[in-house]
Amino acid sequence: MLRARTFLVVLGVLLAGSASAETKKVSLGEVSVVPRNDGTVAPLLRTTAENELGALDLSHVKRDAVLSLSLVRLDTAQDGNGTSVTCVVSATLRTKSGGTIFAVLEGRARVDSSNDAAKRLSLRSAVHGAMTRVPEALK
């Protein structure tokens, strides 16, 4: 009986070790801000991307990849209905070895307000929109 338990424990450790050894991961690469900004956007973009990437279910990933993200647009516009903030982010997925780009993703968001909270919400929503497409791109 003790031999059977020992065997099961050893088998469990071996299986857990090989599962984690085969787990592929997606790491965050470059994060850039194309439009001019006040300097607070880049750290928020990186933090948001890290949080979104960490929340994704990537258990099915079959290869290591690098995700790069760029803020393409963060505009405030006023029209007859009020003020809105529009954000567009672009992301690329590339192989870790070789750097071959295999997916280009985009996220867009619009928030009807112009305060700083609206800018942050717009940015977070656009990043979320791009990141939700990552698991599909990795299939």
pLDDT at position 129 is 97
Phi/psi of residue 31, nearest 5 degrees: -125, 120
Q: How confident is the model at residue 63 (pLDDT cuts 50, 70, 90)?
A: confident
Q: What is the DSSP string of 67-121?
A: EEEEEEEEEEEEETTEEEEEEEEEEEEEETTT--EEEEEEEEEEES--SHHHHHH
Looking at the domain assignment, is residue 15 inside a domain?
no
Query: 2-22: per-residue pLDDT in tens?
Result: 444 433 333 333 333 333 444
Q: How confident is the model at residue 81 (pLDDT cuts 50, 70, 90)?
A: confident
Q: What is the CATH number of the domain that holds 96?
A: 3.40.50.10610
Looking at the domain assignment, is residue 61 inside a domain?
yes
Query: 19-39: per-residue pLDDT in tens?
Result: 344 456 899 999 999 877 668
Count Cβ neighbours within 10 Å for each residue of 97-112 and write b for 16 or more, e otherwise: eeeeeeeebebebebe
To the nearest whole number, what is the mean pLDDT of the chain?
83
pLDDT at position 69 is 97
The CB-side HSE value for 18 (13 A sphere, CA atoms) comes to: 5
Instruction: Name every residue whose Cβ is closer than 8 Å to that of residue 29 and which is 6 or more positions away in sequence.
Output: 66, 67, 68, 94
Stated pTM of the model: 0.78
Give the chain's domain count. 1
Q: The domain containing residue 39 runs over which residues?
A: 24-137
Tokens matching residue 115: 């305060």
Instruction: Return the DSSP state at 58.
Output: -
Looking at the domain assignment, is residue 7 inside a domain?
no
Tokens matching residue 5: 């338990």
Q: How confident is the model at residue 54 (pLDDT cuts 50, 70, 90)?
A: very high
Looking at the domain assignment, is residue 66 inside a domain?
yes
Q: How confident is the model at residue 108 (pLDDT cuts 50, 70, 90)?
A: very high
Sign of CA dihedral 61, 122, 124, 100: positive
